[in-house]
Chain A
Amino acid sequence: MQGPTHLMVSWYFAEATRAPTARDRRIVAWAGLMPDVDVLAYLAALVYYRFDKEIAFENVWKEVHHKYTHNLSFVAVMGIVAYFLASAGDARHKARIAGLAMLTCALHNFLDVVGAGPTWPIYPLWPLSAAGWHATWSWTIGDWQNIVIFVLLTAGMFAYAKARGRSPIECFGDRADAWFCGIVRGEARARDSNPRLRWIIWGALLLGVVAVLAPLGFNPFQ
């Protein structure tokens, strides 16, 4: 599934399981996206190969994507990181946040088996075993199931912001979420606006749209 889908699912999961603070919800949500951090290797490869997408894909992305970050070892690493990043509290609280982070990270793997396409296996036991696991019927990124899930999650973001006063935008910071919810709830005009913050948020939204459309083959320059 697409990165923004993973991030939204993980934030909703943190909210549904009552992760108590915004910081904890952010940790759980980003842990659910982290398996896709290997996209950085592709970006580095693009620069290294002077933006030749075919060579970067063949030499790096095809080899790297999913292998090192879509497995149980990476889930465990996410749990350790989340434990130390969790908001102040006793060991039990930190362990709970670490458990939720591991769960969203593991669910990322499951959702990719179902909805990342049959050519992108996960590697459950890597580095102990290089055996991959995939489903031949797995939905590809552009299939309608993935689009429907993404649209529903995005619509839910507006509905939840309106009803509860917070949303997955919280992943980008409290002020970003307050700004978004203020607009959705019609309260934004009453507050002082911050032009710098506004540009950051619009930039993040633009990157989100690109992250969704680019894997679908959308290229306005062709």
Chain B
Amino acid sequence: MSRLARVALWASSAGGVFLAFAWPFVVSADPGSAAFHAAAVATVIVFFASLGATLAARR
């Protein structure tokens, strides 16, 4: 569980960096894109959930 949370934390961090810096150049520069909306909100949720889970599992 702890390992899963850590993996999710790193994956969502990488995802966030991609969405901020690469998405408009690699995928779509449309600021109203529904795909970007879904991906960004999902990334935020996974990031905060995995951050909380990782910290809760720390000894």
Residues of A that sit less than 8 Å from B by CB = 9, 12-13, 15-17, 72, 103, 106-107, 109-111, 113-115, 118, 122, 124-125, 131, 133-137, 149, 152, 156, 160, 164
**B side interface size, CB within 8 A:** 27
Known pairs A13-B51, A114-B44, A164-B58; A107 contacts B9 (CB<8 A)? no
Residues from chain A with a CB closer than 8 A to the CB of B31 are 118, 133-136
Residues of B that sit less than 8 Å from A by CB = 6, 9, 13, 16-17, 19-21, 23-25, 29, 31-32, 36-37, 40-41, 43-44, 47-48, 51-52, 54-55, 58
Q: Are A110 and B51 in contact (CB under 8 A)?
A: no
Closest to A164 in B: B58
Known pairs A13-B51, A107-B16, A135-B36; A114 contacts B21 (CB<8 A)? no
Q: How far is the CA of A214 from the CA of B36 in the complex (A)?
A: 30
Q: Are B20 and A133 in contact (CB under 8 A)?
A: yes
Q: Are B51 and A16 in contact (CB under 8 A)?
A: yes
| Dominant secondary structure of chain A at its interface with chain B | helix
Q: Are A16 and B16 in contact (CB under 8 A)?
A: no
Q: Are B13 and A16 in contact (CB under 8 A)?
A: no
Chain A CB within 10 A, most for which of B13, B21, B23, B43: B21
Q: Are B20 and A122 in contact (CB under 8 A)?
A: yes
Complex partner residue of A149 from B25, B40, B48, CB under 8 angstroms: B48
Residues from chain A with a CB closer than 8 A to the CB of B9 are 13, 16-17
Closest Cβ of chain A to B42, distance in Å, is: 11
Closest Cβ of chain B to A46, distance in Å, is: 29
Q: Are A137 and B24 in contact (CB under 8 A)?
A: no
